[in-house]
Amino acid sequence: MDSLTQAVLGAAVGELVLGKKLGWRGAAWGAFFGTLPDLDVIALPFLDPAAGIRWHRGISHSILIMVAAAVALARPLARCHVAQGVKGREMGGMVFWAWSTHVLIDCLTTYGTQIFEPFSSERVAANLVFIVDPLVTLPLLVGLVLALRTESRQFAKRRKMMSLGIGVSCVYLGSALMMKFRAEDEISADFKLAHQQGVLIAVAPTSFNTILWRGLIETETGYFLTYWSPFDSGESTYEFIPKKRDLARAFEGEDALEALKWFSRGHWVAREGKDGRLVIIDMRFTEIRTPKSGMLQPIFQWHLDRDENGEVRAPMERPTGLDYPGAFGLLWRRIWGDRKNWDALEEF
């Protein structure tokens, strides 16, 4: 999830665990440890492309590290607040819960989180929420602000406000799970009627909401994209994206390409970029649709070439010059069942 959500969620944990004794400082400690796992990005500029792909949301998000950190830091951090009577188990509990809730909510996205490192590099991804979802963040933020504006001696009232904020976010996540189950059923049933071949790989929410869902169906030669909203009417529509993996033949066996295959869980397509570089697109992630460009714009794409020494370069590059207001407007209309301009764009 985005950094704001992680910080607010960590602060909420810190408030509940330490707010009675530390006041706002409990939330501050929680925000710090709720953000800490994502500081692994500091190392990315010093890693080669393949190592960087495997590093983010890796060991810093593992169960082993969160437990070890809670045990190792409990007493040293508690000694910082001896005057307030904070015990080691309380500080250790705060570290564990702030860290683990960060990892848990990351697991609900499509990106994938390596919670079993260093024993397994398997990435857990529930495809339940988009990486930025205001309806997850806002209840937490409102609850936290109301709690911190209440005096420390009224901790029962503070706890009630913070618990209410967490509860509303949890209810929203529960509703997202119900919507996901329904979307999976609808997309699977519609596809079986429309096509004889293909495997439903993933059903995930589109940007910033849990009403419109994206289905990814794999065939031998490519992928079908389809979308479902409870406000849809009429037959489902499908867009076919050819794999064209033969374009990547020159990079077969290279660490960067193998890392991208692993990261995408094998769900990728290849394209030749306008500048001649190889473009690898992770099909698990949604694309941006802008009426002005007239074409689907994949969010997660890497551009591969070789430097003068023959070493592979594989920077991740986002689409540029996009009409974001137009894209948001198109998404909003599609949520409510308007497919007209949504389906009119050219596939990549």
**Any domain includes 180:** no
pLDDT at position 39 is 94
Calpha distance 178→184 (Å, rounded): 10
pLDDT of residue 321: 84
Same domain, 142 and 203: no
Residues in the chain: 348
Element (H, E) at 4: helix 3-22
Residue 152 confidence (pLDDT) above 90: no
Helix (H) or strand (E) holding 288: strand 287-290
Which of 175, 210, 237 is the endpoint of a domain? 175
Question: Mind listing the pLDDT tens digit for each residue in 11-57?
Answer: 999 999 999 999 999 999 999 999 999 999 999 989 887 888 899 99
Residues 164 and 247 in one domain: no
- Res 320: pLDDT: 85
Indicate the pTM of the whole model. 0.94
Q: CA 305 to CA 328: how far, in whole Å? A: 33
Please report the pLDDT score of residue 291 as a whole number: 82
Domain contains 227: yes
Per-residue model confidence as pLDDT tens digits over 79-126: 999 999 999 999 999 999 999 999 999 999 999 999 999 999 999 999
Q: Using alpha carbons, select from 172, 182, 294 the residue that is nearest to residue 232.
A: 182
Q: Could you read off the pLDDT of 178-200 as tens digits, one per residue? A: 999 999 999 999 998 887 689 99
Domain boundary (114, 147, 175) is at 175
Q: Name the residue type at position 62.
A: S
**pLDDT given at position 135:** 97
d(Cα 182, Cα 201) in Å, to the nearest integer?
16
The amino acid that residue 35 corresponds to is T
User: Which of 106, 110, 47, 102 lies closest to 69 in space, CA to CA?
Assistant: 102
Question: pLDDT at residue 293 above 90?
Answer: no
Beta-bridge partners for 240? 224
pLDDT over 80 (residue 218) = yes
Confidence of residue 345 (pLDDT cuts 50, 70, 90): confident
Mean pLDDT across 149-175: 95
pLDDT of residue 166: 97
Identify the residue whose tokens are 């169906």. 217
Judge if 283 and 148 occupy the same domain.
Answer: no
Q: What angle do CA 141, 123, 212 make, to 5 degrees?
A: 55
Q: Is the Cα dihedral 286, 289, 200, 261 positive or negative?
A: negative
Residues 333 and 224 occupy one common structural domain: yes
Average pLDDT over residues 147-175: 95
Question: 214: pLDDT confidence band, cut at 50, 70 and 90?
Answer: very high
Separation CA 191–CA 283 (nearest Å): 18
**What residue numbers bound the domain in which 280 lies?**
195-344
**Domain contains 35:** yes
SS3 83: helix
- Average pLDDT on 237-251 reads 96
